Amino acid sequence: MKAYKRPPKTIPRIEGSHEQDWLRACKGQGVACSNFDYSGPLTEMVVAGNLAMRFPGEKLMWDGDNMKVTNLPEANDYVHRRYRQGWTL
């Protein structure tokens, strides 16, 4: 282990917290390290993996443009939340 050397830091580091990084990006002070170009597709892939775990053995047809499963409607309950009466977004 004496010959071990730490690899160089190649991933950009942020100053402060991720929340502060996001706020700086909102103010036009650069691009957030976890911007939506990266985190959106990553989150979609994680959702698809979770759906596959909840519905083992089922073939899920995913409509990425509309963010829904087209052949198994009950799977969409895990993609979008149903809001209680009187609460909407």
The answer to whether residue 87 is domain-embedded is: no
Summarize pLDDT for 47-88 with one digit per residue, the tens.
999 999 999 999 999 999 999 999 999 999 999 888 888 887
The answer to whether residue 25 is domain-embedded is: no
Q: Which domain holds residue 74?
A: 30-78
Number of independent structural domains in the chain:
1
Overall average pLDDT of the 23-30 stretch: 93
The answer to whether residue 36 is domain-embedded is: yes
48, exposed or middle or buried, with CB in 10 Å at 0-12, 13-18, 19+?
Answer: middle
Share of the chain above pLDDT 70, in %: 99
The answer to whether residue 51 is domain-embedded is: yes
Cα–Cα distance, 52 to 60 (Å, whole number): 8
Q: Is the pLDDT of residue 30 over 80?
A: yes
Higher pLDDT, 12 or 57: 57
pTM over 0.85: no
The answer to whether residue 14 is domain-embedded is: no
